[in-house]
Chains A and B, each alone.
Chain A
Amino acid sequence: MKAALNALLCAALLLAGAMSGAAGPGAAGPVAPEAVKSYGPAEARRRLVVRSTTDLALFEPILLAFLARNPDIAFSYEQWSSNGLYLAASAACRAGAAQADLLISSSIDQQVKLANDGCARPHRSALTAGLPAEANWRDEVFGITREPAVIVYNRATIGPESAPRSRFDLIDLLRPEDSRFRGRVATYDIETSGLGYLFAFADSQQATTFGSLIEAFGRSGAIATCCSAEIIDGVAGGRYLIAYNVLGSYALARARENPDIVVVAPDDYTLVLSRAALIPKHAAAPDLAGALIDFLLSEEGRAALRTADLIVPTDGKAEPALRLPENPEASLRQIPLSPVLLVGLDQHKRRAFIARWRATFASRKTPRR
């Protein structure tokens, strides 16, 4: 079984290569899970396989809450990179193979593409019907979290006088030739991080600020790197002064441990990501997957997601560590689940966008860990 799975994954990788990255990323991510953990009774007749890009540690309490309500279900959670998850799911869809029962990814564009390409099966319930249009596409892709893209800085290194509140502030900070921020601003490397690409592409759609911003990044030698944890560690440790477009959920978790970390939802606009869940077309246990989706959308599930910072309140109950925009109503912009996301995945569009990005970052890009 394991061998067959590996063979399939290899096939997926080859296929993805043969398609010359029709799905987007030129550099395929690892096609094996980064971590796997099983829960529930080993002798259970029903087994639910969840593939997710979310850190296992972050998601575990939620899974345990679900298991507490469904004690007869066995459960395995596989943590994947977003590209790996997409490529494996796409290959499984074409092969008609049942690999996972539920896919949860922060690369919502890839999730939408899976649904667009007929690789998802619909799930309808009172809870999915209650979702707003931007968080439910075709009853196939559901937005289950609410995580703002934030600016993170360290109170210890940046005084209140220069604390950035918006992208304009950031551009102003980076402008001076002898800025102390030179080489000390970090953001996702969009070539390796699906989420970084998604945010950057959304930025380019939102405002003309984006042009000035990457120009400022380029001039000031900003660092494009990988992974939320690494970037936030860098800010906490003083290696970076400012991190841009970091996922708020990770930042807030660190801010709670380290009161010096300040999390800013930019005033001009704040992108809000809703991780997308979908049930693959050939899922072996679609009913269990549907039950998990309904749990995630239920009051109890949402409370668990809030505890895990995967739903970040932006109203009166907001974390004190999160600095909200002055006018949250107008500034918070959820990236809707819709075929418009396919544009960013277009081969030419992506190539051109990355080329533009690379033109500013090429010389300063840090090697990938």
Chain B
Amino acid sequence: MRPGPSIRFRLVVGIVLVLAVGGVAVALAALAYGRSAAQQSYDRLLVGAARQIARAISLRDGEVVVDLPVSAFELLSLAPRDRVVYGVFDETGRLITGYGSIAPPADGSAFFNGSFAGEPARFAHVTRPFAERAFTGSVSVVIGQTMQARRELARQITRNALIAVAIIGAVMAALAMLAVRAALRPLHRIERDFAARSSKDLTPVDLDVPQEISSLVRALNRFIARIDRQLQIMHRLIGDAAHQLRTPIAALRAQAELAADETDPERQRRIVGRIHERSKNLSRLADQLLSHALIIHRADSVDLQEIDLRRVATEAVAEADQWLDEAHLALRLDLPEAPMPCPGDELSLIEACKNLINNALGHGRPPITLRVRAENGMALLAVHDCGEGFPEEMWADAGSRFASSAGVSSRSAGLGLAIVSAVARAHRGELRIRRPAEGGFEVAIALPAGRESRP
């Protein structure tokens, strides 16, 4: 296991990122809000002052007279450090009173930005129409103020908003930490469960786990079950091997002792012949045990691939040829025209098939037929002989070890069907035994068919 960054660390980084991005967004929003709020507040003062000035414009002897109100400037003094510029203009843009350095906006807008004495300033523009005998037209009041107070207010609003956001962010981060801790608690429970187990405890984890890790725990449980199974298989193999090998080795030793004590060369030769025969059987038994172990191991660990059962059958027959020759028997091969695909491990299936053939050779009666066929969505690899087979009451146990044989014959150690059954189970299939209507005895591996052969 390579220790990666912890989930807590990831979550913390994620939360911090989310909060940071959110914080930046809120900060930008606060800045924009602060600016617009300050802008609005001081714009109102500005336009209020401009209206007061406009109100103070009168006509005297046909001339526009401005009685600049002190209150307008007192209003503007609410921005205590800002400079003020103002001007009253007639319709032609001529200055009536105030500062000549400014002018009414060409587009007549109510507010505009500009500068005054080298400092940025905000301006309000108000017009007042006159319709008198002596004067008809409108008078423009433009009043501007530098923006220190606006900036200060915007800064204040933004700062306050940011302080609030920072506090909320900190509280949220703290709560998120608590939530993370609570959410990770089931992992600690599982950890404690494993820590508390004895080394032999391979039972599944049985804890209330959240949905998100239930599949992980299920996978873990499957994994534990597989280890459990393989351990059991190993135990069984060791048990089998011990059981199956002890008797022939003891017999062999007894024969060897007998041969050593025998003085008659002719009888000694016969005993040596028997020793040879028995050691051949023993070697076959060892082969079988090893292949059993190999196949069971393979079946449990190798990924299934799409294979053609016809190929399995021909391969098995080719490998079984040697025994067939020894037995002077022929094997009939009955294969369909079309491929018979199914997911499987070729090597273990060939080995299982060989076992079936071997069984038929050992216990059945010729002729023997190896048949590949489809049946109810299952692909079958069946070996048929014309004998009686073994009794029906033993069928249910046929897949267990030693069932089909009580001892060691010349060709079988009685493990045949156990291997076949293990392979079938590993392929999510089963062992099928029957006496077909046409007579004889058939043992078949039924496997779930591959996609192509399914209707």
**Interface residues, chain A, CB within 8 Å of chain B?**
19, 22, 115-119, 133, 137-138, 205, 338-340, 342-343, 346-349, 352
Contacts and interface: CB of A to CB of B under 8 A. Distances in A.
27 contacts: A19-B100, A22-B99, A116-B117, A117-B83, A117-B117, A118-B83, A118-B117, A118-B118, A118-B119, A137-B80, A138-B81, A138-B83, A338-B77, A339-B76, A339-B82, A340-B77, A342-B73, A342-B84, A343-B69, A346-B97, A348-B66, A348-B67, A348-B68, A348-B88, A349-B66, A349-B68, A352-B67
B161 to A, nearest CB: 28
B83 A339 contact: yes
A67 B326 CA distance: 135
A346 B68 CA distance: 7
B73 A339 contact: yes
A339 B79 CA distance: 10
Contact of B77 (A118, A339, A347, A352): A339
Nearest to B101: A117
Contacts of A346: 66, 68, 97-98
Given A116-B83, A118-B117, A343 B73 contact: yes
Nearest to A133: B80
Interface in B66-115: 66-70, 73-74, 76-77, 80-85, 88, 96-100
B116 A118 contact: yes
Interface residues of B, number: 26
B329 interface: no
Most chain A beta-carbon neighbours within 10 Å: one of B66, B69, B118 = B66
A347 B97 contact: yes
A138 B84 CA distance: 12
B65 interface: yes
Interface in B33-59: none
B83 A343 contact: no
B430 to A, nearest CB: 96
Given A22-B100, A138-B81, A343 B116 contact: no
A338 B78 CA distance: 10
B115 to A, nearest CB: 10
A349 B96 CA distance: 12
Nearest to A340: B73
Dominant SS at the A interface?
helix
Given A117-B117, A339-B77, A349 B67 contact: yes
Given A338-B77, A342-B73, A348-B88, 4 more contacts: A348-B68, A349-B66, A349-B97, A352-B67
Contact of B70 (A116, A119, A343): A343
Interface in B298-328: none
Contacts of A349: 66-68, 97
A352 B344 CA distance: 112
A362 B51 CA distance: 35
Nearest to B119: A118
B118 A348 contact: no
A205 B70 CA distance: 8
Nearest to A205: B70
Nearest to B100: A22
Nearest to B60: A352
Most chain A beta-carbon neighbours within 10 Å: one of B69, B83, B98 = B83
A349 B71 CA distance: 14
A339 B84 contact: yes
Contacts of A338: 73, 77, 80
Contact of A348 (B70, B77, B96): B96
A348 B73 contact: no
Interface in B113-143: 116-119
CB-CB nearest 3 A-B residue pairs: A118-B117, A348-B97, A348-B66
A99 to B, nearest CB: 18
A118 B118 CA distance: 7
Contacts of B84: 116, 339, 342
A118 B85 CA distance: 11
A198 to B, nearest CB: 14
B341 to A, nearest CB: 92
A343 B68 contact: yes
A19 B95 CA distance: 11
A233 B119 CA distance: 47
A359 to B, nearest CB: 14
Nearest to A117: B117
A235 B251 CA distance: 157
B80 A340 contact: no
Contacts of A138: 81, 83
A119 B326 CA distance: 124
A138 B67 CA distance: 27
Contacts of B82: 339
Nearest to B117: A118
Given A118-B83, A339-B84, A352 B117 contact: no
Contacts of B119: 118
Contacts of A347: 97-98
A116 B83 CA distance: 5
B97 A352 contact: no
